[in-house]
Amino acid sequence: MNQEDINTLRETVISVLKTIYDPEIPLDIWTLHLVYGVDVDADGNVKIVMTVTAPNCPVAEVLPAEVKQKVEAIMGVRKADVELTFDPVWSIDMLTDEAKAELGLDGDYNYSPSDFLY
């Protein structure tokens, strides 16, 4: 696989990640910035580093498995490795202004990570 193919496959992976939603927050995991990294090698192996909104998140096991399943279903992907990390810990500060507005988080209210605990 050449660099152009790798870049195209990476963009396809990102498109698929944008179809996977956090069950508690009505935004996809890409927009929520739960995905910290997507790497694709020349053999079609994909490595995804991601997090969840809180360490005690009830989907901490389910969400990475869903990501792995959907990414491995992409033509050209040989294998997907999904690593769950809490470094850095996710916070609403990682959201774009557009994402905050969509969630109704724009304005002067100061949010803390505990606002997103289950």
Q: Which tens digit of pLDDT belongs to each residue from 71-92? A: 999 999 999 999 999 999 998 8
- Give the pair of three-digit tokens for residue 97: 């202004």
- Give the pair of three-digit tokens for residue 91: 């916070």
Of residues 27 and 11, the one with the higher pLDDT is 11
In a domain, 114, yes or no: no
In a domain, 116, yes or no: no
- Does the pLDDT of residue 109 top 60, yes or no? no
CB 46 within 8 A of CB 71: yes
- Amino acid 114 reads S
Of residues 65 and 105, the one with the higher pLDDT is 65
Domains: count for the chain: 1
Domain of residue 70, residue span? 3-106
In a domain, 115, yes or no: no
- Give the pair of three-digit tokens for residue 52: 């969840």
Residues β-bridged to residue 81? 47
Of 14, 31, 1, 25, the C-alpha closest to 71 is: 14
Q: What's the confidence (pLDDT) of residue 39?
A: 98
Long-range CB pairs of 38-41, under 8 A, 24+ apart, other chains included: 38/10, 38/13, 38/14, 39/10, 40/6, 40/9, 40/10, 40/13, 41/6
- Does the pLDDT of residue 118 top 60, yes or no? no
Of residues 38 and 116, the one with the higher pLDDT is 38
Interval 27-76: pLDDT, tens: 999 999 999 999 999 999 999 999 998 888 888 889 999 999 999 999 99
For helices 3-17 and 62-72, angle between their N-to-C axes, nearest 10 degrees: 140
In a domain, 30, yes or no: yes
Average pLDDT score over residue span 90-108: 81
Read off the CATH number of the domain in which 48 is found. 3.30.300.130
